[in-house]
Structure 1
Amino acid sequence: MDVLADALAVMRVGTSTSARTEARAPWGLRFPAVEGASFHVVLQGTCWLIPKGAGRAPLPLTSGDIVFLRDGSAHGLADDPATPLTVVAPSRQDPSSPIGQVRVDGPGARTMLLCGTYRLGNARPHPLLCELPDIVHLPARPGRHGELHAMTGLLGAELDERRPGRDGVVPALVDAMLLYILRAWVDDRSAEEARRRTEAGRGPAGWAVALTDPAIGRALEGIHADPARPWTVEELGTRGGLSRSVFAQRFTSVVGASPLAYLTWWRMTIAGRLLRESDAPLSAVAQRVGYSSEFAFAKAFKREYGLAPGRYRRGATR
Structure 2
Amino acid sequence: MLQSSDSCCHRPEARMDPLSDIVALLKPHECVAAGFDAAGDWSIQFERHAGLKCNALVKGGCWLSVDGGKPVRLDAGDCAILPHGLPFVLSARPGRFGVDAAEIYSPLPHGGTATYGGGGDFFMAGSRFLLSGPATEMLLPSLPPFLIVRAGAEGEVLRWSVERIARELRTPQPGSSLAIAHLSHLVLMQALRACLLQEQTGLGGWFAALTDASVARAVAAIHANPARRWTLAGLAAEAGLSRTTFAERFRKVTDQTPLGYLTRWRMALAMDRLTGSNAALGQIAAEVGYASQAAFSAAFRRETGYSPRQYAREIHASSTAAAVSRPIVAR
TM-score band (shorter)?
Answer: 0.7 to 0.9
C-alpha distance in 2 between matches for 1:45 and 1:166: 29
C-alpha distance in 2 between matches for 1:16 and 1:120: 10
* SS in structure 2 at match of 1:117: strand
Tell me which stretches of 4 or more aligned residues in structure 1 moved more than 6 Å.
Answer: 156-162, 165-168
2:157 aligned residue: 151
C-alpha distance in 2 between matches for 1:161 and 1:244: 52
2:140 aligned residue: 129
1:23 aligned residue: 38
C-alpha distance in 1 between matches for 2:59 and 2:136: 33
Identity of aligned residues (%): 32
Does the 8 Å CA contact 2:43/2:91 hold for their aligned counterparts? yes
| 2:142 alignment partner AA | E
Distance 1:278 1:33, change over 3 A: farther
C-alpha distance in 1 between matches for 2:130 and 2:283: 28
C-alpha distance in 2 between matches for 1:311 and 1:124: 19
2:76 aligned residue: 63
| 1:236 alignment partner AA | L
C-alpha distance in 2 between matches for 1:123 and 1:173: 19
| Corresponding position: 1:83 with 2:94 | no
Query: How many pairs are equivalent?
Result: 292
C-alpha distance in 2 between matches for 1:16 and 1:159: 8
Segments of 5+ residues of structure 1 without an aligned counterpart are 93-98, 141-145, 194-203
TM-score of the pair, normalised by structure 1: 0.75
Write the mapping of 1:151-190 to structure 2, written as runs, cut at 5 A. Answer: 151-152=157-158, 154=160, 171=180, 175-189=185-199
| Corresponding position: 1:104 with 2:115 | yes
Does the 8 Å CA contact 2:111/2:167 hold for their aligned counterparts? no
Q: CA deviation at 1:283?
A: 1.8
Does the 8 Å CA contact 1:24/1:107 hold for their aligned counterparts? yes
Distance 1:207 1:186, change over 3 A: farther
Write the mapping of 1:37-56 to structure 2, written as runs, cut at 5 A. Answer: 37-49=52-64, 51-52=66-67, 55-56=68-69
For each residue in 1:45-66, what CA deviation from the matched residue of structure 2 results, as whole angstroms up to 9, or x when unmatched?
12343545xx445544322222
Segments of 5+ residues of structure 2 without an aligned counterpart are 1-15, 318-331
Which gives a bigger RCO, structure 1 or 2 (Cα 8 Å, sep 6+)? 2
Distance 1:210 1:89, change over 3 A: same
Does the 8 Å CA contact 2:77/2:150 hold for their aligned counterparts? yes
C-alpha distance in 1 between matches for 2:139 and 2:262: 15
For each residue in 1:196-222, what CA deviation from the matched residue of structure 2 results, as whole angstroms up to 9, or x when unmatched?
xxxxxxxx9854552133332221111
Q: CA deviation at 1:247?
A: 2.7
Root-mean-square deviation (Å)? 3.7
Distance 1:208 1:175, change over 3 A: closer
Q: CA deviation at 1:260?
A: 1.3
| 1:113 alignment partner AA | M
Residue range with higher mean Cα deviation, 305-314 or 150-159: 150-159
